[in-house]
Amino acid sequence: MILLSAVEENYLKYIFQLSEISDRGIVKTNDLAYKLEHSAASVTDMLKKLSDKKLVAYKKYYGVSLTKTGLQIAVQVLRKHRLWETFLVKNLKFTWDQVHAIAEQLEHIQSDELIDRMDEYLGHPKFDPHGDPIPDKQGVFSSANVICLADAKLKKQYLLANVNDESSAFLKYLNKIQLKLNDKIKILDKEEFDETIQIMINEKKQMTISKDAAQNMFVKVV
Amino acid sequence: MILLSAVEENYLKYIFQLSEISDRGIVKTNDLAYKLEHSAASVTDMLKKLSDKKLVAYKKYYGVSLTKTGLQIAVQVLRKHRLWETFLVKNLKFTWDQVHAIAEQLEHIQSDELIDRMDEYLGHPKFDPHGDPIPDKQGVFSSANVICLADAKLKKQYLLANVNDESSAFLKYLNKIQLKLNDKIKILDKEEFDETIQIMINEKKQMTISKDAAQNMFVKVV
DNA sequence: TATTATTTTTAGATTAGCCTAAATTTTAAA
DNA sequence: TTTAAAATTTAGGCTAATCTAAAAATAATA
Ligand SMILES: [Mn+2]
Ligand SMILES: [Mn+2]
Ligand SMILES: [Mn+2]
Ligand SMILES: [Mn+2]
């Protein structure tokens, strides 16, 4: 059991998240630097350290990817983050826009026992308050089969299944327009000019949302 | 709102705890070094920094004490520690010997909102699983009026009100002899030779405990 | 009161994790 | 294919938090 610093854990977590939206799981230095809000030079330094610890495969000027060990750790950090978010919303009655920043701290508490008991206490939830899947103790995610609302088809009935939790502003916007997870969404029209989308919510409320908003929302078919 | 590092918070917390058992609230460098398991040189360095931040009053070669601000912060850290311990035992079913180390981490999570909601969630508990008083949001402790079992009188009925939580070994010993908070304790005899104490627990179980054990137990009169 | 022992501070180093500026490598454009 | 731009790494520096060894101050003892 290698003990990592919170900083190292964050690197692995972000490499994991970026690798999921990159080709062949290769993450570029600058993308990490942007995500972490650090200089590229700092990132290079840390990648060398993580490479020495065999947590990442790093090739100069090419990019970085997680090793098996690195992946396992990254997934466990995500598990902790999402379980804590679930606790904060379900039990402590935080709103979904308030929990990310606190979970960023709590995810680094080192105690397997603690997170196992928390998982048990919460009844082994499969998804967090933003619809993100919570990996189990073995690191297995339950897949949700969602598509981005921006890519969804016209006239089909969907459910809001997952939202991007990292922007409190976006979640507050959803609060304001009273859109929640599991609400029904049907796309009435897409405007070609500015890519705004006309949607019907829960078969009664109609509204227009921007492309930007739609790209942060993920839906599944009913 | 000054944001302190976990290290700085720990210094304030330990200065507070040591000041409570010292004369005129003055804490010596070496005592802090022993508590923190750091070198005395490191302690001197940090005391200068905390002094610059007006969190402690530090006089070279003499000792250190908390300023008003330093005291407030120290008490809030203790509050967090004890509320977390309470949560871990009450809700997550940890035993009292398992929670201190985890609470040492959790006490440094920075979020007033979080600890306020946790306090509410737990029903504003006044004492933690070890019988230590939990200061309220304003930093006020409810006093317990306890005396050390080593100093308690013969033949009087007491309740076990508070134990030293920092040694898991001691708490495990109490588990083994099945002694819990609020158990009745009467001192039957004190042996002058080795200062062992004969006690009667809950009016039915008799046993001998060492001076060392008695010094870690605090009782109140029934 | 001198001398010795203990405590505390100072001096100088080290490591983790950041930075900026300069150099290098890769990619894109002309 | 040469040149310019962009991405990345290297070099050198900084701060927080630790350390050890040496110096200085205080306390204890003869
Ligand atoms: Mn989150
Ligand atoms: Mn989330
Ligand atoms: Mn404790
Ligand atoms: Mn306690």
Percent of chain A residues topping a pLDDT of 70? 100
pLDDT, tens only, B114-124: 999 999 999 99
Nearest nucleotide by C1' position to the A61 CA atom: D8
pLDDT, tens only, B71-97: 999 999 999 999 999 999 999 999 999
Does pLDDT of B1 surpass 80? no
- Which ligand minimizes its atom distance to the CA of A86? 2
Q: What is the pLDDT of residue A94?
A: 98
Mean pLDDT over the full length of chain B = 96
Closest protein CA to C1' of nucleotide D24, residue: B61
Q: What is the pLDDT of residue B23?
A: 85
pLDDT, tens only, A136-164: 999 999 988 999 999 999 999 999 999 99
Mean pLDDT over the full length of chain A = 96
Q: What is the pLDDT of residue A197?
A: 96
- A112-131 mean pLDDT: 98
CA of B100 to the centre of ligand 3 (A): 4
Q: Suggest the residue from A3, A91, A168 to mutate for an interface test with chain B (most B CBs closer than 10 A).
A: A91
* DSSP β-bridge partners for residue A27: A64
**By three-state DSSP, how is residue B179 classified?**
coil
pLDDT, tens only, B179-219: 999 999 999 999 989 999 999 999 999 999 999 999 999 99
Does pLDDT of A23 surpass 90? no
Q: What is the pLDDT of residue B35?
A: 97
Neighbours of ion ligand 3 (CB under 5 A): B 100, 165
pLDDT, tens only, A180-220: 999 999 999 999 899 999 999 999 999 999 999 999 999 99
Q: What is the pLDDT of residue A133?
A: 97
List all nucleotides in chain D with at least one atom under 7 A from a protein Cβ.
7-12, 16-22, 25-26
- B101-116 mean pLDDT: 98
- B130-151 mean pLDDT: 95
Q: What is the pLDDT of residue A2?
A: 79
- B124-129 mean pLDDT: 98
- Which ligand minimizes its atom distance to the CA of B133? 4
With contacts defined as CB-CB under 8 Å, which chain B residues touch A115? none
Does pLDDT of A86 surpass 80? yes
Q: What is the pLDDT of residue A144?
A: 85
Q: What is the pLDDT of residue A83?
A: 98
Domains of chain A: 6-66 (1.10.10.10), 147-221 (2.30.30.90)
Give yes or no for CB of A3 within 7 Å of strand C.
Answer: no
**DSSP, residue by residue, B36-60:** HT--HHHHHHHHHHHHHTTSEEEET
Q: What is the pLDDT of residue B222?
A: 87
Q: What Rg value do the Cα atoms of chain B yield, rounded?
A: 19
Q: How many alpha carbons fall within 13 Å on the CB side of residue B197?
A: 22
Q: What is the pLDDT of residue A71?
A: 98
Q: Which residue has the tokens 């997934």?
A: A75
Residue B152 to residue B148: CA distance in whole angstroms: 6
Give yes or no for CB of A60 within 7 Å of strand D.
Answer: yes
With contacts defined as CB-CB under 8 Å, which chain B residues touch A121? 91-92
- A76-100 mean pLDDT: 98
CA of B64 to the centre of ligand 2 (A): 44
Residue A47's alpha-carbon distances to A28, A63, A72, B43, B180, in angstroms, are 11, 10, 17, 33, 50
Model pTM score: 0.95
> Residues 25-84 of B near strand C (Cβ < 7 Å)?
28-31, 40-41, 43-45, 47-48, 58, 60-61, 63
